[in-house]
Chains A and B, each alone.
Chain A
Amino acid sequence: MRPRPITRCQRLFRSSSTTSSSALRTPPIGSDVEALNAGVNALTSVSSERSTGGYGQLHGLSIAIKDNICTSSLPTTCSSAILQQYQSPFDATVVRLLRDAGAHIVGKTNCDEFGMGSLNLNSVHGPVINPFQTAPNVPAAQMEHRSAGGSSGGSAASVAAGICDAALGTDTGGSVRLPASYCGVVGLKPSYGIISRWGVISFADSLDCVGILGKSVGIVKRVFDTVATYDPRDPTAATPDLRERACQFNSPFLSVTTSTHQPRSLEGLRIGVPIEYFPSELDPSIVDVLRTVLRRLGEAGAALTSVTVPATQYTLSAYYVIASAEASSNLARFDSVRYGLRTAPPPGANTSKSSDVFAHSRCAGLGKEVQKRILLGTYALTADAFDNYFLQAQRIRGHVRRDFDRVFRHPCALLERPFPPEDGVDVLLHPSAIRTAPPLDRRAQESHSGGKAALGLSEYLQDIMTVPASLAGLPALSIPAGTGADRWPVGVSVVGQWGCDNLVMHVGKAIEELC
C-alpha cells in the first residue's frame, strides 16, 4: 500500500516552500476522505486500502492514527521535518490490534511536532483547523478558523469532521482531552500502562498514553476494549495480574453505574468536584456548563461533594520539567545518522565533535517549540540543576499521586497497602479546558492574550486542567457537555482512580445521555 500525501490546506503560519502535492487519482473512500479533509488539514497521509479483510469486533469501523504512532504502510512523521520521509518497518502494537480486529485504518493524523503543543500549531504539515462551526453550511470564506487543540488536533478534528469513526491520539499532558474538548468529541486518556506504547514514538515515557477519540463514549469503549491488553513488549505495561487486581478493586462500584435501567439511576455514585480546578483564567461560561452537568447528575441520584487536591497548583511546572527532561533524552536519537532528514555542516564548520555535526541536522529538522523543550529538559538534567528541578518535580509528582489517593474511595491497585478513605469519591468532575477553542488567527489571539510574550505562556496554561491526571497516571475522559458563550463546544472531564477506566467511561456515558 503506497501512502499518498494529502493536498495541503492553506498554510496559515508557515511559508509553503516545500512540496505541495497535486490532486490525486483516488479510490472512492480516499477521495471522500480527501474532500472531508480539505479545509481541516487533519490528515497527513491517507491509506489507499479500502478496507481490511478481517471480521473482528471492530469490523466496519474506520479509524485514523496519530502520526506519532508507527505504521508500516504509511509514513510516521510526528509532524516533524526530521521524520518527514520516515517510514517505520513495523506497526505499533495498537495498530496491529486494530487491524486484527477488522478496523479500517483511514490514514495518519496531523499533530503538534512530537506531541509538543496544545494548539496544533507546531506542525510541519501546517495547523489543523477545527471543523466545528456554530451554524450549519457556512461558506468556506466565512468559516471561523479556530484551533483544534493539540497535540492530537488532527485526531480530534478527523472525528469531528466525520472522516472516521474513531481516532487514536496520544496524551502526555492533555493532548487527547484538550482537542476533544475544543472539537466537541469524546476523548479518553486511559490509565498509564493500560494500552501498549510499543511503536508509539516517545515524547515523555513516564507520561505518554495512547488515547482514543470518538463521536460517542460507546465507540471509544469499543476501541478501548480492543486495544487495552497486556503487551510484553512494553516494559511499562500493566501486567495481567495488576489489571485483574484493579478490576476486582473496582467491581463493587461498577455495579452502581452499569445498570441499564432507564432512566439511568446514579444512586450511590459519589462525584467530587476539585476546588483547585477553577483558576482565574477559567472562562465563566464553562463553569455554567459544568454546573448544568452537575445538577443533572445530582438529579439522577449521584452524590456531589467538593474535594481538594492541594498539589494541583504545582503540577504545571512539575509537568513541564519532567516532560521536557524526558523529551530531551528521548529525542537524542534523532541525530540523522541512521534515519531522518540530514543537513550536512556548511564548509568550514567545526566538525571536531560529533555533537557539532549532529547540531546542524537537529537545528534544521526540529521545530522551535521542540528545541525549546529539549533545551529546558537538558538544563533540568545537568548536574547543577538536577536536584532543584528534576528531583523536585518528581517529589511534586509524588504529592499529586498521594493527593488523589486521599480523594478516591477506590484503592490504588499499584500500591502494596492502599488505605482509601471510606468517604472518598468514585470519580472527579471538572472542566476539560479553561476556554473554548482559541481562534487560529495569530493576531486575534495575541490581542486576546495580551502580547506576544504571554502567548507562549497561555499555550502552556491550556494544560492546567489536564496535567494532574497525567502526572498521576489516572484515567480521564473528556465529554462534550454543552457550549460556551461563543457557542463553541465545552468539554467536561471525568477522572478516576488508576485502573478505573471502565467506571470513568460509564460515568461519561451517563453524562452523554443526560446532557
Chain B
Amino acid sequence: MNLVRPRPIWRAQCHWKSQELWRFKGLRGIHKQRERVEDRRWPGWEVVVGIEVHAQIKSRKKLFSGEYDSGVTTAFVGDTKKAPNTAVSCFDAALPGTLPSLNPKCVELAVRTALALNAHVQRRSAFDRKHYFYPDLPSGYQITQRYAPLARGGYLKLSRGDVTVRITQLQLEQDTAKSTFHAGRRVSLIDLNRAGSGLMEIVSEPDMRSPEEAGDYVRTLQTLLRAVGSSDGSMELGSLRCDINVSVNRHGQAPGTRCEIKNLNSIKFMMTAITSEVFHHIELLESGRTVPQETRGFDEDKAETFKLRSKEDSPDYRYMPDPNLPPLLLSQEYIERVRSSMPELPSETRVRLLSMGLSERDADVLMTVDAGREVGFDGEIGKGACLSHRMTHDLLGQLAARKETFSDNPVSVKHMGELIDMVQSGKVTGTSGKTLLRHMISHRSLDSPSKLAKELGLIALSRDDSSLVKEWCLEAIEELPQQAEAVRKGNLPVLNKLVGKVMKLGKGRANAETVRTLLLALLRQER
C-alpha cells in the first residue's frame, strides 16, 4: 500500500508554532448556539464539559513496533489476558538501536474513525515526542501528534436531544506500559505488553452542558468506534480512557476556569465525578473564591474528586518533532479508499432501518442486537460483522414476507442476540440459524433459541465432546501459564483456577470432574 511516501528527512519547521489546543473562541460560539438550559441541580449555573478520549486501536500489531522485529514476540494489542511482559518487542522495551516504523493498519483505523466523526483527515500530519521520566515510559518520551494531528474538525451527534459535539482533533499516539504498585513488596511492577500500543486521542470542543450529555457523548463514541472496528472502547478494560475538562459559570457570563479530571474507568463514575466537580466549583465561587486550574483525580469510594496537581506543577514536556519519523502524507485516493471500505456507521444503519419503515424504537432495538458484532483486528470485516447484518436482514426479510411489521416481531432482542451468538460460536451452522429464525417467527415460539436448537436437533457437533474438552484444557493451560506451572510443581489447589477457566471456555458444558482428571493428565504429560 502506498500509504506513506517518506520524503526524508528533515522536516519543514515553519508550521512549528506553539498553539493552544483548547480554543475558547469556539466556546463562545457555542454559548450562542446552545439554548440556556436550567438544571434543577444547580439553578443559575451553566456547566461546560469537554472530553479527551484515549481509545486503544484494535490492531494486531503496535503503533511503531514494526513487522521486522528480530525478536520472536509479536505484539498483539489489547490482549489483556497475556502474561506480563510477553508481548514486547525490542522497540517497545526501548532497547538502544531500535527505530520506529509506522503500522499502516493503525493509520487506516484512525482514518476510519476520523471519517466517521466527519472530521477532515489531514493530507499531512507529523509526529512529535513528549518527554517525561516514568518507569512505564521506556524510551523517556511518548510519540504523539501534538502539532500536526491526523484529523481536525468534526462532530458527533448525541443520541438524545438535538446536541452536536464538535471534535477538535484526532491524533495518533503511543500507549504507555502498565505499572502496578505491589504494596506488600513495596515495589512497582511494570508490564510492557501495553507499551507502544496505538492510541487515538479524540479531543472534543467544550460543547457538553451536563454530566448526562458527557455520558451520552462517550457512549455514542463507543458505539461508533466499535462499529468501524477501530477500538473495543471498553472503559472497564482500559481500552478507552477519558480526561474530562469541567468549568462552571453563571448563565450569560464568560466561561469559568476549567479543571481536568483524570483516570476515570466507567461512564457512571465519570458522570458522578463531573457532578462532584461542578458542586466543588459552585461552592468555591459562591463563597467568593476563585477556581484554581488543577488536574484532579476521582475517589470512587467517596464519589468525590480530589486535587492531583495544580497548573504550576504541570511538567514541561519539551515537545520536539520526532527526527526518526517523516511526516505522514496521505493521498486523497487513499482517504477515499478507506472511506469506501468502511463498515456501515451506526447513524447510517439507523437511517437505513428507518427508511425500511421501522419506528425509532424498533431501529434502536435492532441496533442493540447488532452492537457488539465486532469488526476483527486491523479492521478486518470478518464473519461476525457480516453475519449480524445478514441475520438482521433475514429477520426483516422474513417479516416482510409474512407481511408483518417489526413491532409484531415475536423474536425478542435477547433471543436474537443469543441466536447470533450461537451461529458465531459455531454451535449451530449458518443454515441452521436461518431455519431456527424461521421457526421462531412462524411458530411465535417464546422458547430460547438454544432450547429450540436442541429440540430441533440443530446443535452442531463436528468433533466428539472429549476432544473439545481437551482443547479447552489446553487453551486454559496456555492462558494461565503461571498457574499451570504451579500445579506442575505440586500446588494442587491452584488446579481449581484452571478448571474454572475450562468451564468458562466451555460455557459450562463440560463435566468438572472430567476436566480435573484431564488437566492433571495433560500437565504431567508435558513434563
Contact = CB atoms under 8 A, between A and B. Distances in A.
Interface of A: 69-70, 76, 78, 83, 86, 88-90, 92, 192-193, 197-202, 204-206, 232-239, 242, 325-326, 328-329, 332-335, 337-339, 353-355, 358, 378, 381-383, 386-387, 390-391, 394-395, 397-398, 401, 414, 473
Contact of B96 (A70, A237, A401): A70
B140 A329 contact: yes
Give the interface centre of B71, B94, B102, B318 by most chain A CB atoms within 10 Å: B318
Given A383-B18, A390-B320, A329 B131 contact: yes
Contacts of B319: 381, 386
A414 B7 contact: yes
Interface string B296-312: 00000000000000000
Contact of A235 (B12, B102, B138, B190): B102
B133 A358 contact: yes
Give the interface centre of A76, A198, A395 by most chain B CB atoms within 10 Å: A198
Contact of A335 (B98, B135, B324): B135
Contacts of B387: none
B70 to A, nearest CB: 5
Given A239-B6, A332-B139, A473-B10, A233 B324 contact: no
Interface string B86-102: 00001001111111111
Which 10 A-B pairs have CB atoms at the shortest separation, nearest pair first? A332-B140, A206-B323, A381-B318, A355-B133, A205-B323, A333-B94, A70-B97, A394-B13, A201-B96, A199-B97
A90 B97 contact: yes
B320 A414 contact: no
B134 interface: yes
Give the interface centre of B96, B131, B326 by most chain A CB atoms within 10 Å: B96
Contact of B8 (A92, A242, A383): A242
Contacts of A473: 9-10
Interface of B: 6-10, 12-13, 16, 18, 66, 68, 70-71, 90, 93-102, 129, 131-135, 138-141, 190, 316, 318-320, 323-326
Contacts of A88: 95-97
Nearest to A358: B133
Give the interface centre of A202, A235, A242, A355 by most chain B CB atoms within 10 Å: A235
A235 B401 CA distance: 58
A90 B9 contact: no
Contact of A89 (B18, B71, B131, B318): B71
A192 B99 contact: no
Give the interface centre of B7, B98, B129 by most chain A CB atoms within 10 Å: B98
Given A193-B9, A332-B141, A382-B316, A234 B99 contact: yes
A328 to B, nearest CB: 8
A192 B10 CA distance: 10
Contact of B101 (A206, A233, A238, A354): A233
B95 to A, nearest CB: 7
B149 to A, nearest CB: 19
A251 B98 CA distance: 34
Contacts of A78: 96
5 contacts: A198-B98, A233-B101, A235-B100, A325-B320, A394-B10
B71 to A, nearest CB: 7
Contacts of B71: 89-90
Contacts of B10: 206, 394, 397-398, 401, 473
B323 A204 contact: yes
A332 B131 contact: yes
Contacts of B9: 192-193, 206, 236, 414, 473
Given A205-B324, A232-B101, A391-B13, 14 more contacts: A88-B95, A88-B96, A201-B96, A201-B97, A206-B10, A235-B6, A235-B99, A332-B131, A333-B94, A333-B139, A335-B133, A335-B135, A414-B8, A414-B9
A102 to B, nearest CB: 21
A343 to B, nearest CB: 15
A233 B326 CA distance: 13
Contact of B95 (A89, A325, A394): A89
Contact of A337 (B13, B96, B190): B190
Given A233-B68, A332-B131, A414-B9, A338 B323 contact: no
A381 B131 contact: yes
A502 to B, nearest CB: 19
B135 A381 contact: no
A62 B240 CA distance: 54
A401 B9 CA distance: 12
Contacts of A90: 70-71, 90, 97
Nearest to B129: A329
B97 A92 contact: yes
B275 to A, nearest CB: 32
A289 B70 CA distance: 48
B362 to A, nearest CB: 51
Nearest to A378: B318
B182 to A, nearest CB: 15
A397 B14 CA distance: 12
B137 to A, nearest CB: 9
A197 B101 CA distance: 13
Contact of A333 (B12, B140, B326): B140
A196 B13 CA distance: 25
Contacts of B94: 333, 338
Contacts of A234: 99
Contacts of B98: 198-199
Nearest to A193: B8
A458 to B, nearest CB: 28
A414 B8 CA distance: 7
A381 to B, nearest CB: 4
Contact of A198 (B8, B99, B138): B99
B138 A233 contact: no
Contacts of B323: 204-206, 236, 326
A238 B135 contact: no
Contacts of B102: 235
A263 to B, nearest CB: 39
Contact of B97 (A198, A232, A398): A198
Give the interface centre of B6, B68, B70, B320 by most chain A CB atoms within 10 Å: B320
A337 B139 CA distance: 11
Contacts of A200: 97
A332 B133 contact: yes
A202 B190 CA distance: 25
Nearest to A337: B135
Contacts of B99: 197-198, 233-236
B316 to A, nearest CB: 5
A338 B132 CA distance: 17
B8 A238 contact: yes
A193 B93 CA distance: 24
Contacts of A394: 10, 13, 16
A89 to B, nearest CB: 6
Contacts of A92: 97
B315 to A, nearest CB: 9
Contacts of A390: 320
Contacts of B190: 337
Nearest to A353: B133
A239 B90 CA distance: 24
B8 A89 contact: no
Contacts of B324: 202, 205, 235-236
Nearest to A206: B323
A333 B8 contact: no
Contacts of B90: 89-90
A182 B77 CA distance: 51
B134 to A, nearest CB: 5
Contacts of B7: 414
Contacts of A391: 13, 16
Contacts of A401: 10
Contacts of A325: 320
